[in-house]
Structure 1
Amino acid sequence: MPEGHTLHRIADLHQTRLGGQVVRAASPQGRFADGANLIDGQVLESAEAYGKHLFHHYPSGVTVHVHLGLYGTFSEVDLPMPEPVGQVRMRLTGNNFGTDLRGPTACEIFDPSQVDALMARLGADPLRADADPDKAGERIRKSRKAIGALLMDQSIVAGVGNVYRAEVLFRHGISPFRPGNQLSVDEWNAIWADLLELMPIGVETGRMHVVRPEHDLGAPSYATDRPRTYTYRRAGEPCRVCATPIATGTLDGRNVFWCPTCQPS
Protein backbone atom coordinates (compact mmCIF):
# COMPACT_ATOMS: atom_id res chain seq x y z
CA MET A 1 0.00 0.00 0.00
CA PRO A 2 1.41 3.44 -0.89
CA GLU A 3 2.58 5.36 2.15
CA GLY A 4 1.86 9.00 2.89
CA HIS A 5 4.70 10.49 0.89
CA THR A 6 3.23 8.99 -2.31
CA LEU A 7 -0.12 10.72 -1.76
CA HIS A 8 1.54 14.04 -0.99
CA ARG A 9 3.63 13.69 -4.13
CA ILE A 10 0.49 13.04 -6.20
CA ALA A 11 -1.30 15.99 -4.57
CA ASP A 12 1.63 18.30 -5.38
CA LEU A 13 1.66 17.08 -8.98
CA HIS A 14 -2.08 17.56 -9.44
CA GLN A 15 -1.98 20.99 -7.82
CA THR A 16 0.85 22.05 -10.13
CA ARG A 17 -0.50 20.54 -13.35
CA LEU A 18 -4.28 20.89 -12.86
CA GLY A 19 -4.87 23.41 -10.07
CA GLY A 20 -6.76 26.53 -11.13
CA GLN A 21 -7.82 24.96 -14.43
CA VAL A 22 -11.13 23.79 -15.79
CA VAL A 23 -10.88 20.02 -15.84
CA ARG A 24 -12.72 17.49 -17.93
CA ALA A 25 -13.70 14.43 -15.94
CA ALA A 26 -14.92 11.03 -17.05
CA SER A 27 -15.24 7.51 -15.71
CA PRO A 28 -14.54 5.13 -18.60
CA GLN A 29 -15.13 2.19 -16.28
CA GLY A 30 -18.48 3.65 -15.24
CA ARG A 31 -18.15 3.16 -11.46
CA PHE A 32 -17.55 6.89 -10.87
CA ALA A 33 -19.81 8.18 -13.64
CA ASP A 34 -22.11 10.27 -11.41
CA GLY A 35 -19.17 11.79 -9.57
CA ALA A 36 -17.35 12.58 -12.82
CA ASN A 37 -20.47 14.36 -14.12
CA LEU A 38 -20.53 16.53 -10.97
CA ILE A 39 -16.98 17.81 -11.40
CA ASP A 40 -16.73 17.83 -15.22
CA GLY A 41 -16.17 21.40 -16.40
CA GLN A 42 -15.36 22.77 -12.94
CA VAL A 43 -12.14 24.44 -11.82
CA LEU A 44 -9.96 22.27 -9.61
CA GLU A 45 -9.43 24.70 -6.74
CA SER A 46 -6.88 22.64 -4.82
CA ALA A 47 -5.44 19.19 -4.30
CA GLU A 48 -4.18 18.08 -0.90
CA ALA A 49 -3.19 14.92 0.93
CA TYR A 50 -3.72 13.86 4.51
CA GLY A 51 -2.01 10.63 5.44
CA LYS A 52 -2.94 8.08 2.79
CA HIS A 53 -5.93 10.10 1.53
CA LEU A 54 -6.10 12.45 -1.47
CA PHE A 55 -8.63 15.27 -1.81
CA HIS A 56 -9.57 17.33 -4.88
CA HIS A 57 -11.61 20.41 -3.92
CA TYR A 58 -14.01 22.14 -6.33
CA PRO A 59 -15.79 25.53 -6.06
CA SER A 60 -19.25 23.96 -5.97
CA GLY A 61 -18.36 22.58 -2.52
CA VAL A 62 -17.83 19.00 -3.62
CA THR A 63 -14.58 17.14 -2.99
CA VAL A 64 -13.30 14.00 -4.65
CA HIS A 65 -11.82 11.69 -2.04
CA VAL A 66 -9.40 9.00 -3.20
CA HIS A 67 -7.81 6.22 -1.19
CA LEU A 68 -5.50 4.12 -3.34
CA GLY A 69 -5.54 1.06 -1.10
CA LEU A 70 -3.34 -1.84 -2.17
CA TYR A 71 -3.75 -1.60 -5.91
CA GLY A 72 -4.72 1.95 -6.82
CA THR A 73 -2.50 3.99 -9.13
CA PHE A 74 -2.53 7.30 -10.97
CA SER A 75 -0.80 7.30 -14.34
CA GLU A 76 0.08 10.29 -16.50
CA VAL A 77 -1.34 10.22 -20.01
CA ASP A 78 0.00 12.16 -22.98
CA LEU A 79 -2.36 14.59 -24.65
CA PRO A 80 -4.47 14.26 -26.65
CA MET A 81 -5.91 11.57 -24.40
CA PRO A 82 -6.02 8.18 -26.15
CA GLU A 83 -8.67 5.54 -25.66
CA PRO A 84 -8.47 4.32 -22.05
CA VAL A 85 -6.66 1.08 -21.33
CA GLY A 86 -7.95 -1.18 -18.57
CA GLN A 87 -10.41 -0.28 -15.85
CA VAL A 88 -10.05 3.50 -15.53
CA ARG A 89 -12.13 4.66 -12.57
CA MET A 90 -11.52 8.39 -13.09
CA ARG A 91 -9.95 10.31 -15.96
CA LEU A 92 -9.01 13.97 -15.52
CA THR A 93 -7.79 16.21 -18.32
CA GLY A 94 -6.46 19.76 -17.99
CA ASN A 95 -4.83 22.20 -20.38
CA ASN A 96 -1.58 20.28 -20.75
CA PHE A 97 -1.93 17.26 -18.49
CA GLY A 98 -4.04 14.15 -18.18
CA THR A 99 -4.19 11.40 -15.59
CA ASP A 100 -6.00 8.08 -15.20
CA LEU A 101 -6.91 6.49 -11.87
CA ARG A 102 -7.14 2.71 -11.71
CA GLY A 103 -7.95 0.27 -8.93
CA PRO A 104 -8.48 2.52 -5.90
CA THR A 105 -10.17 1.34 -2.75
CA ALA A 106 -12.20 4.58 -2.75
CA CYS A 107 -13.01 7.23 -5.33
CA GLU A 108 -16.06 9.12 -4.14
CA ILE A 109 -17.74 12.49 -3.76
CA PHE A 110 -17.65 14.11 -0.32
CA ASP A 111 -19.39 17.22 0.94
CA PRO A 112 -17.53 19.53 3.36
CA SER A 113 -18.92 17.80 6.46
CA GLN A 114 -17.67 14.43 5.23
CA VAL A 115 -14.21 15.86 4.55
CA ASP A 116 -14.10 17.37 8.04
CA ALA A 117 -15.27 14.11 9.63
CA LEU A 118 -12.60 12.05 7.86
CA MET A 119 -9.81 14.48 8.70
CA ALA A 120 -10.95 14.55 12.33
CA ARG A 121 -10.42 10.79 12.50
CA LEU A 122 -6.83 11.02 11.26
CA GLY A 123 -3.78 11.48 13.42
CA ALA A 124 -0.68 13.61 13.02
CA ASP A 125 0.68 13.65 9.47
CA PRO A 126 4.41 14.47 9.44
CA LEU A 127 3.97 16.04 6.00
CA ARG A 128 1.33 18.55 7.06
CA ALA A 129 1.98 21.87 8.77
CA ASP A 130 -1.07 21.38 11.00
CA ALA A 131 0.23 18.14 12.54
CA ASP A 132 0.08 17.81 16.33
CA PRO A 133 2.90 15.42 17.33
CA ASP A 134 2.36 16.08 21.05
CA LYS A 135 -1.19 14.72 20.88
CA ALA A 136 0.07 11.65 19.01
CA GLY A 137 2.84 11.15 21.57
CA GLU A 138 0.37 11.39 24.46
CA ARG A 139 -1.85 8.72 22.92
CA ILE A 140 1.13 6.44 22.34
CA ARG A 141 2.40 6.81 25.91
CA LYS A 142 -1.04 5.99 27.32
CA SER A 143 -1.31 2.75 25.35
CA ARG A 144 -0.12 -0.73 26.23
CA LYS A 145 -0.17 -1.72 22.57
CA ALA A 146 3.12 -2.28 20.79
CA ILE A 147 4.72 0.83 19.31
CA GLY A 148 4.96 -0.99 15.99
CA ALA A 149 1.18 -1.26 15.91
CA LEU A 150 0.59 2.28 17.16
CA LEU A 151 2.73 3.81 14.41
CA MET A 152 0.52 2.06 11.85
CA ASP A 153 -2.69 3.32 13.47
CA GLN A 154 -3.78 6.08 11.10
CA SER A 155 -5.83 7.72 13.85
CA ILE A 156 -2.57 8.35 15.74
CA VAL A 157 0.04 8.88 13.01
CA ALA A 158 -1.30 9.40 9.50
CA GLY A 159 0.76 8.33 6.51
CA VAL A 160 3.25 5.95 8.10
CA GLY A 161 3.13 2.48 6.58
CA ASN A 162 5.09 -0.74 6.96
CA VAL A 163 8.35 0.54 5.48
CA TYR A 164 8.64 3.78 7.45
CA ARG A 165 7.46 1.93 10.58
CA ALA A 166 10.18 -0.72 10.30
CA GLU A 167 12.94 1.68 9.36
CA VAL A 168 12.35 4.51 11.82
CA LEU A 169 12.17 2.06 14.74
CA PHE A 170 15.45 0.50 13.65
CA ARG A 171 17.09 3.90 13.33
CA HIS A 172 16.23 4.56 16.98
CA GLY A 173 16.98 1.11 18.35
CA ILE A 174 13.41 0.47 19.47
CA SER A 175 11.78 -2.95 19.27
CA PRO A 176 8.47 -2.87 17.40
CA PHE A 177 7.01 -4.93 20.27
CA ARG A 178 7.82 -2.44 23.03
CA PRO A 179 4.57 -1.17 24.62
CA GLY A 180 3.78 2.44 23.82
CA ASN A 181 3.62 3.33 27.51
CA GLN A 182 7.29 2.40 27.80
CA LEU A 183 8.33 4.98 25.21
CA SER A 184 9.83 8.15 26.68
CA VAL A 185 8.96 11.67 25.58
CA ASP A 186 12.47 12.09 24.21
CA GLU A 187 12.23 8.85 22.23
CA TRP A 188 8.94 9.88 20.65
CA ASN A 189 10.28 13.35 19.85
CA ALA A 190 13.30 11.75 18.14
CA ILE A 191 11.08 9.42 16.09
CA TRP A 192 8.88 12.32 15.02
CA ALA A 193 11.89 14.46 14.07
CA ASP A 194 13.22 11.57 11.99
CA LEU A 195 9.90 11.22 10.15
CA LEU A 196 10.00 14.97 9.46
CA GLU A 197 13.39 14.42 7.81
CA LEU A 198 12.72 11.16 5.95
CA MET A 199 9.22 11.57 4.55
CA PRO A 200 9.81 14.84 2.62
CA ILE A 201 12.65 13.07 0.80
CA GLY A 202 10.05 10.56 -0.38
CA VAL A 203 7.81 13.38 -1.61
CA GLU A 204 10.66 15.03 -3.48
CA THR A 205 12.21 11.93 -5.06
CA GLY A 206 9.36 9.41 -5.08
CA ARG A 207 11.62 6.94 -3.25
CA MET A 208 12.15 6.08 0.39
CA HIS A 209 15.74 6.80 1.47
CA VAL A 210 16.09 5.48 4.99
CA VAL A 211 19.63 4.05 5.27
CA ARG A 212 22.31 6.39 6.57
CA PRO A 213 25.23 6.91 4.14
CA GLU A 214 27.71 5.05 6.33
CA HIS A 215 25.48 1.94 6.19
CA ASP A 216 24.38 2.21 2.57
CA LEU A 217 26.92 -0.33 1.41
CA GLY A 218 27.22 -4.06 0.80
CA ALA A 219 23.98 -6.01 0.50
CA PRO A 220 21.69 -4.89 -2.31
CA SER A 221 18.11 -3.77 -1.93
CA TYR A 222 15.34 -6.28 -1.27
CA ALA A 223 14.03 -5.72 -4.80
CA THR A 224 15.10 -4.26 -8.12
CA ASP A 225 14.84 -0.48 -8.35
CA ARG A 226 14.12 -0.13 -4.64
CA PRO A 227 16.29 1.79 -2.17
CA ARG A 228 18.15 -0.16 0.46
CA THR A 229 16.48 -0.73 3.82
CA TYR A 230 17.77 -1.71 7.23
CA THR A 231 15.15 -4.34 8.04
CA TYR A 232 12.12 -4.13 5.76
CA ARG A 233 11.81 -7.34 3.70
CA ARG A 234 15.32 -8.43 4.71
CA ALA A 235 14.36 -11.40 6.90
CA GLY A 236 17.37 -13.68 7.44
CA GLU A 237 19.79 -11.20 5.89
CA PRO A 238 22.60 -9.77 8.04
CA CYS A 239 21.92 -6.47 9.76
CA ARG A 240 23.75 -3.63 8.03
CA VAL A 241 25.07 -2.47 11.41
CA CYS A 242 25.78 -5.59 13.51
CA ALA A 243 25.38 -8.55 11.10
CA THR A 244 22.69 -10.25 13.22
CA PRO A 245 20.10 -11.94 10.96
CA ILE A 246 17.04 -9.75 10.55
CA ALA A 247 13.96 -11.25 12.20
CA THR A 248 10.38 -11.19 10.98
CA GLY A 249 6.99 -11.89 12.48
CA THR A 250 3.47 -10.51 12.51
CA LEU A 251 1.99 -7.66 14.47
CA ASP A 252 -1.71 -6.86 14.19
CA GLY A 253 -1.84 -9.00 11.06
CA ARG A 254 0.99 -7.21 9.26
CA ASN A 255 4.55 -8.40 8.65
CA VAL A 256 7.07 -6.76 10.92
CA PHE A 257 10.88 -6.74 10.62
CA TRP A 258 13.54 -5.93 13.19
CA CYS A 259 17.11 -6.62 14.31
CA PRO A 260 17.13 -8.57 17.62
CA THR A 261 20.49 -7.04 18.57
CA CYS A 262 20.02 -3.40 17.56
CA GLN A 263 16.39 -3.40 18.73
CA PRO A 264 16.38 -5.50 21.90
CA SER A 265 13.07 -6.49 23.46
Structure 2
Amino acid sequence: MRIGISELFTGEDGRDGAFVRETAVLLEELGFHAIWYPEHVVFFPSYDSSYPYGTLGGNEVRALRGVYDPFVGLAAIAAVTSTIRLGTYVCVVAQRNPIMLARHVAAVDVLSGGRFDFGIGVGWSEEEYTALGVPFARRGARTDEYLAAMKVLWSDEEVTGFDGEFVEFAPLLAFPKPVQRPHPPIVVGGNSAATVRRIVEHGQGWAGYNLEVDEIGRFIDQLDTALTAAGRSIDEIELRVGRRAKGTEERDWEDDARYIEQCEPLGLHEVVVSPRFSVDGYEAKARRYAEIVGVGA
Protein backbone atom coordinates (compact mmCIF):
# COMPACT_ATOMS: atom_id res chain seq x y z
CA MET A 1 0.00 0.00 0.00
CA ARG A 2 1.26 3.45 -0.93
CA ILE A 3 1.76 6.43 1.37
CA GLY A 4 1.05 9.95 0.15
CA ILE A 5 1.44 13.17 2.09
CA SER A 6 -0.62 16.32 2.42
CA GLU A 7 1.50 19.41 3.02
CA LEU A 8 0.76 23.07 3.69
CA PHE A 9 2.30 25.67 1.40
CA THR A 10 1.21 29.00 2.85
CA GLY A 11 3.82 31.50 1.68
CA GLU A 12 4.33 32.56 5.31
CA ASP A 13 6.50 31.56 8.28
CA GLY A 14 9.29 30.16 6.12
CA ARG A 15 6.98 28.27 3.77
CA ASP A 16 7.97 30.38 0.76
CA GLY A 17 8.73 29.43 -2.83
CA ALA A 18 12.09 27.87 -1.97
CA PHE A 19 10.40 25.79 0.73
CA VAL A 20 7.86 24.50 -1.80
CA ARG A 21 10.55 23.38 -4.22
CA GLU A 22 12.96 21.94 -1.65
CA THR A 23 10.21 20.10 0.21
CA ALA A 24 8.89 18.55 -2.99
CA VAL A 25 12.33 17.26 -3.94
CA LEU A 26 12.83 15.82 -0.44
CA LEU A 27 9.43 14.09 -0.33
CA GLU A 28 10.07 12.50 -3.73
CA GLU A 29 13.52 11.34 -2.60
CA LEU A 30 12.06 9.77 0.56
CA GLY A 31 9.64 7.71 -1.50
CA PHE A 32 6.24 9.26 -0.81
CA HIS A 33 3.83 8.21 -3.54
CA ALA A 34 2.13 11.59 -3.93
CA ILE A 35 1.97 15.16 -2.69
CA TRP A 36 -1.64 16.18 -2.05
CA TYR A 37 -2.48 19.87 -2.00
CA PRO A 38 -5.40 21.36 -0.02
CA GLU A 39 -7.50 24.26 -1.28
CA HIS A 40 -9.14 27.27 0.33
CA VAL A 41 -9.37 30.48 -1.64
CA VAL A 42 -9.77 32.67 1.45
CA PHE A 43 -9.96 32.25 5.21
CA PHE A 44 -11.95 34.11 7.86
CA PRO A 45 -11.40 35.41 11.41
CA SER A 46 -14.33 33.24 12.55
CA TYR A 47 -16.73 30.72 11.05
CA ASP A 48 -20.39 29.92 11.51
CA SER A 49 -19.95 26.89 9.25
CA SER A 50 -18.82 23.72 10.99
CA TYR A 51 -15.69 21.93 9.82
CA PRO A 52 -16.85 18.33 9.25
CA TYR A 53 -13.60 16.38 9.60
CA GLY A 54 -12.57 16.57 13.23
CA THR A 55 -11.23 19.02 15.78
CA LEU A 56 -7.59 18.93 14.69
CA GLY A 57 -8.41 19.93 11.13
CA GLY A 58 -10.91 22.54 12.28
CA ASN A 59 -8.35 24.15 14.56
CA GLU A 60 -5.83 24.26 11.71
CA VAL A 61 -8.29 25.94 9.34
CA ARG A 62 -9.14 28.58 11.95
CA ALA A 63 -5.45 29.30 12.49
CA LEU A 64 -4.53 29.66 8.80
CA ARG A 65 -4.50 32.91 6.84
CA GLY A 66 -3.88 31.54 3.38
CA VAL A 67 -2.37 28.90 1.10
CA TYR A 68 -0.99 29.06 -2.42
CA ASP A 69 -3.46 28.26 -5.17
CA PRO A 70 -3.07 24.49 -5.70
CA PHE A 71 -2.60 24.67 -9.47
CA VAL A 72 0.11 27.32 -9.17
CA GLY A 73 1.81 25.38 -6.38
CA LEU A 74 1.58 22.03 -8.15
CA ALA A 75 3.00 23.52 -11.36
CA ALA A 76 6.03 24.69 -9.35
CA ILE A 77 6.36 21.22 -7.80
CA ALA A 78 6.04 19.55 -11.21
CA ALA A 79 9.02 21.57 -12.44
CA VAL A 80 11.41 20.15 -9.82
CA THR A 81 10.16 16.54 -9.57
CA SER A 82 9.86 13.66 -12.01
CA THR A 83 8.13 10.66 -10.39
CA ILE A 84 6.00 11.68 -7.43
CA ARG A 85 2.31 12.06 -8.22
CA LEU A 86 0.55 15.38 -7.60
CA GLY A 87 -3.02 15.93 -6.54
CA THR A 88 -5.63 18.18 -5.01
CA TYR A 89 -7.13 17.02 -1.71
CA VAL A 90 -9.50 18.56 -2.57
CA CYS A 91 -10.36 21.21 -5.17
CA VAL A 92 -13.73 22.85 -4.45
CA VAL A 93 -15.06 22.57 -8.00
CA ALA A 94 -18.25 24.63 -7.67
CA GLN A 95 -16.29 27.73 -6.62
CA ARG A 96 -14.46 27.93 -9.98
CA ASN A 97 -15.41 28.63 -13.58
CA PRO A 98 -15.40 25.16 -15.20
CA ILE A 99 -13.75 26.29 -18.44
CA MET A 100 -10.86 27.85 -16.53
CA LEU A 101 -10.68 24.90 -14.14
CA ALA A 102 -10.54 22.37 -16.98
CA ARG A 103 -7.70 24.39 -18.48
CA HIS A 104 -5.77 24.49 -15.19
CA VAL A 105 -6.17 20.76 -14.64
CA ALA A 106 -4.97 20.01 -18.17
CA ALA A 107 -2.01 22.37 -17.81
CA VAL A 108 -0.76 20.75 -14.59
CA ASP A 109 -1.21 17.31 -16.10
CA VAL A 110 0.84 18.33 -19.15
CA LEU A 111 3.53 20.12 -17.14
CA SER A 112 3.91 17.12 -14.82
CA GLY A 113 4.03 14.58 -17.65
CA GLY A 114 0.72 13.01 -16.67
CA ARG A 115 1.20 12.82 -12.90
CA PHE A 116 -1.90 14.73 -11.78
CA ASP A 117 -4.86 13.33 -9.81
CA PHE A 118 -7.90 15.62 -9.69
CA GLY A 119 -9.23 15.35 -6.16
CA ILE A 120 -12.57 17.13 -5.95
CA GLY A 121 -15.16 18.08 -3.34
CA VAL A 122 -18.13 20.34 -2.70
CA GLY A 123 -16.67 22.26 0.26
CA TRP A 124 -18.10 23.01 3.68
CA SER A 125 -17.47 26.76 4.22
CA GLU A 126 -20.53 28.82 3.32
CA GLU A 127 -18.47 31.91 4.14
CA GLU A 128 -16.04 31.10 1.33
CA TYR A 129 -18.82 30.59 -1.20
CA THR A 130 -20.44 33.87 -0.17
CA ALA A 131 -17.17 35.78 -0.54
CA LEU A 132 -16.78 34.38 -4.07
CA GLY A 133 -20.34 35.22 -5.05
CA VAL A 134 -21.31 31.57 -5.64
CA PRO A 135 -24.49 30.14 -4.10
CA PHE A 136 -23.80 27.63 -1.33
CA ALA A 137 -27.17 25.94 -1.92
CA ARG A 138 -27.13 23.19 -4.55
CA ARG A 139 -23.36 23.19 -4.67
CA GLY A 140 -23.47 19.41 -5.19
CA ALA A 141 -25.61 19.71 -8.32
CA ARG A 142 -23.35 22.50 -9.59
CA THR A 143 -20.29 20.32 -8.98
CA ASP A 144 -21.78 17.43 -10.94
CA GLU A 145 -22.63 19.63 -13.90
CA TYR A 146 -19.22 21.30 -13.89
CA LEU A 147 -17.56 17.87 -13.97
CA ALA A 148 -19.70 16.86 -16.93
CA ALA A 149 -18.78 20.07 -18.74
CA MET A 150 -15.07 19.61 -18.05
CA LYS A 151 -15.16 16.09 -19.49
CA VAL A 152 -16.52 17.61 -22.69
CA LEU A 153 -13.72 20.19 -22.71
CA TRP A 154 -11.06 17.48 -22.21
CA SER A 155 -12.48 15.29 -24.98
CA ASP A 156 -10.55 14.50 -28.15
CA GLU A 157 -13.68 15.24 -30.10
CA GLU A 158 -14.55 18.71 -31.35
CA VAL A 159 -16.14 20.65 -28.50
CA THR A 160 -19.60 21.29 -29.88
CA GLY A 161 -20.84 23.14 -26.81
CA PHE A 162 -22.60 22.47 -23.54
CA ASP A 163 -26.06 23.49 -22.37
CA GLY A 164 -26.73 23.04 -18.67
CA GLU A 165 -28.41 24.72 -15.74
CA PHE A 166 -25.24 26.23 -14.33
CA VAL A 167 -22.92 26.42 -17.34
CA GLU A 168 -23.35 26.73 -21.07
CA PHE A 169 -20.98 27.46 -23.91
CA ALA A 170 -21.04 27.42 -27.70
CA PRO A 171 -18.63 25.37 -29.83
CA LEU A 172 -15.05 26.26 -28.91
CA LEU A 173 -11.44 25.11 -28.92
CA ALA A 174 -10.15 23.94 -25.52
CA PHE A 175 -6.42 23.30 -25.24
CA PRO A 176 -4.13 21.94 -23.96
CA LYS A 177 -5.60 18.48 -23.60
CA PRO A 178 -4.47 16.42 -20.59
CA VAL A 179 -1.74 13.83 -21.06
CA GLN A 180 -3.83 11.22 -19.23
CA ARG A 181 -6.72 10.12 -21.42
CA PRO A 182 -9.59 10.63 -21.41
CA HIS A 183 -8.68 12.88 -18.49
CA PRO A 184 -6.76 12.80 -15.17
CA PRO A 185 -8.35 10.52 -12.58
CA ILE A 186 -11.25 12.22 -10.80
CA VAL A 187 -10.85 11.43 -7.11
CA VAL A 188 -13.99 12.22 -5.16
CA GLY A 189 -13.50 13.49 -1.63
CA GLY A 190 -15.86 12.91 1.27
CA ASN A 191 -17.40 10.23 3.44
CA SER A 192 -21.11 10.62 2.65
CA ALA A 193 -23.79 8.93 0.56
CA ALA A 194 -23.41 11.79 -1.92
CA THR A 195 -19.73 10.87 -2.23
CA VAL A 196 -20.69 7.31 -3.19
CA ARG A 197 -23.11 8.58 -5.84
CA ARG A 198 -20.56 11.02 -7.26
CA ILE A 199 -17.88 8.32 -7.52
CA VAL A 200 -20.32 6.05 -9.35
CA GLU A 201 -21.22 8.83 -11.81
CA HIS A 202 -17.87 10.55 -12.30
CA GLY A 203 -15.03 9.01 -10.30
CA GLN A 204 -11.97 6.90 -10.72
CA GLY A 205 -10.96 7.30 -7.09
CA TRP A 206 -12.09 7.98 -3.53
CA ALA A 207 -10.46 10.37 -1.04
CA GLY A 208 -11.95 9.72 2.40
CA TYR A 209 -10.82 11.61 5.46
CA ASN A 210 -10.57 11.27 9.24
CA LEU A 211 -12.15 7.82 9.42
CA GLU A 212 -11.68 4.97 11.84
CA VAL A 213 -10.73 1.62 10.33
CA ASP A 214 -14.22 0.12 10.74
CA GLU A 215 -15.76 3.20 9.08
CA ILE A 216 -13.46 2.74 6.08
CA GLY A 217 -14.61 -0.84 5.68
CA ARG A 218 -18.28 0.13 5.80
CA PHE A 219 -17.79 2.88 3.21
CA ILE A 220 -15.98 0.56 0.81
CA ASP A 221 -18.78 -2.00 1.15
CA GLN A 222 -21.39 0.67 0.34
CA LEU A 223 -19.36 1.87 -2.62
CA ASP A 224 -18.89 -1.67 -3.91
CA THR A 225 -22.66 -2.28 -3.79
CA ALA A 226 -23.45 0.99 -5.58
CA LEU A 227 -20.83 0.42 -8.30
CA THR A 228 -22.07 -3.11 -8.95
CA ALA A 229 -25.65 -1.86 -9.28
CA ALA A 230 -24.45 0.66 -11.88
CA GLY A 231 -22.52 -1.93 -13.87
CA ARG A 232 -19.14 -0.80 -12.62
CA SER A 233 -16.53 -2.56 -10.46
CA ILE A 234 -14.76 -1.55 -7.27
CA ASP A 235 -11.58 -2.67 -9.07
CA GLU A 236 -11.86 0.48 -11.23
CA ILE A 237 -11.52 2.75 -8.20
CA GLU A 238 -8.34 3.89 -6.43
CA LEU A 239 -9.21 3.87 -2.74
CA ARG A 240 -7.45 6.23 -0.35
CA VAL A 241 -8.07 7.85 2.99
CA GLY A 242 -6.49 10.86 4.66
CA ARG A 243 -5.01 10.61 8.15
CA ARG A 244 -4.00 13.61 10.27
CA ALA A 245 -1.29 12.91 12.86
CA LYS A 246 -2.56 13.45 16.39
CA GLY A 247 0.57 15.38 17.34
CA THR A 248 4.20 16.06 16.47
CA GLU A 249 6.02 13.52 18.64
CA GLU A 250 7.41 10.16 17.56
CA ARG A 251 4.66 8.40 19.50
CA ASP A 252 2.16 10.16 17.23
CA TRP A 253 4.05 9.00 14.16
CA GLU A 254 4.04 5.44 15.54
CA ASP A 255 0.28 5.79 15.88
CA ASP A 256 0.14 6.70 12.18
CA ALA A 257 2.19 3.58 11.41
CA ARG A 258 -0.30 1.38 13.27
CA TYR A 259 -3.20 3.00 11.41
CA ILE A 260 -1.52 2.38 8.05
CA GLU A 261 -0.91 -1.26 8.99
CA GLN A 262 -4.57 -1.69 9.97
CA CYS A 263 -5.74 -0.13 6.69
CA GLU A 264 -3.81 -2.44 4.39
CA PRO A 265 -6.12 -5.49 4.69
CA LEU A 266 -9.10 -3.31 3.74
CA GLY A 267 -7.98 -3.02 0.13
CA LEU A 268 -6.95 0.63 0.30
CA HIS A 269 -4.40 1.69 -2.28
CA GLU A 270 -3.06 4.71 -0.38
CA VAL A 271 -3.09 6.42 2.99
CA VAL A 272 -2.47 10.18 2.80
CA VAL A 273 -0.73 11.34 5.96
CA SER A 274 -0.60 14.87 7.39
CA PRO A 275 2.22 14.98 9.96
CA ARG A 276 2.68 18.78 9.63
CA PHE A 277 6.42 19.02 10.32
CA SER A 278 7.62 22.43 11.45
CA VAL A 279 9.92 24.34 9.10
CA ASP A 280 12.72 24.23 11.67
CA GLY A 281 14.38 20.84 11.30
CA TYR A 282 11.93 19.80 8.57
CA GLU A 283 14.26 17.42 6.72
CA ALA A 284 15.34 15.46 9.81
CA LYS A 285 11.73 15.12 10.97
CA ALA A 286 10.53 14.05 7.53
CA ARG A 287 13.25 11.41 7.26
CA ARG A 288 12.47 10.03 10.71
CA TYR A 289 8.73 10.01 10.00
CA ALA A 290 9.25 8.19 6.70
CA GLU A 291 11.33 5.58 8.51
CA ILE A 292 8.69 5.04 11.21
CA VAL A 293 5.67 4.70 8.91
CA GLY A 294 7.50 2.68 6.27
CA VAL A 295 7.63 5.07 3.33
CA GLY A 296 9.59 3.45 0.52
CA ALA A 297 9.70 0.10 2.33
Pairwise same-fold verdict (TM > 0.5): no
Q: TM-score, normalised on structure 1?
A: 0.29
Give the greater-gyration-radius structure (CA). 1
Normalised TM-score (structure 2) = 0.27
Q: Which has the higher helix share?
A: 2
Report which structure shows greater RCO (CA 8 Å, sep ≥6).
2
